[in-house]
Amino acid sequence: MIKKLVIAIAMLIPSFGAGYSAFAAAPAHEQHVQVNKNDKELLARLVSAEAKGEPYAGKVAVATVVLNRVDSSKFPDTVKGVIYQKGQYSPVSNGQINKPADKDSKKAVEEAINFQGQGKGSLFFFNPDKTGDQWLRQKQETIKIGNHVFAK
């Protein structure tokens, strides 16, 4: 009985997690960011540090924000450039970016790469309990996943 229930639920929920389906509801862009092996590893380390303790869907969404930024004319045009842009990500300044990525973060990066152009155009994310940044809070919210608010 339990096995049938698990199978039924698995068929209803996309492989990338229940919360991500709403995040990925936007139609895909035609343009895709090219991501090499080094970019994937760097992005996975950022996701691991930024989304530690968050649901899998939140990890995919964090990676998607970075890819959306690379695709945006408002940010640097490489994964490395976006991640190391001054003042953008606390794991860069506190050294957490140098710690190895966990398995789920690596998987989340692969999923974000496969679903590029989706994510409702989110370019920002923040934890409202950990930041008082009013500029971020004024951005248009796209979705909440776990403790993060995603916005554009």
Name the percent of the chain lying above pLDDT 70: 78
What's the mean pLDDT in 11-38? 52
Domain boundaries, the chain: 37-119
Distance CA 18, CA 11 (A): 11
Q: What is the pLDDT of residue 25?
A: 40
Highest average pLDDT, of 14-18, 71-75, 119-123, 136-140, comes from 71-75
59: pLDDT confidence band, cut at 50, 70 and 90?
Answer: very high
What kind of fold does domain 37-119 have according to CATH? Arc Repressor Mutant, subunit A (1.10.10)
**pLDDT score of 121:** 86
- Is the pTM of the predicted complex or chain greater than 0.85? no
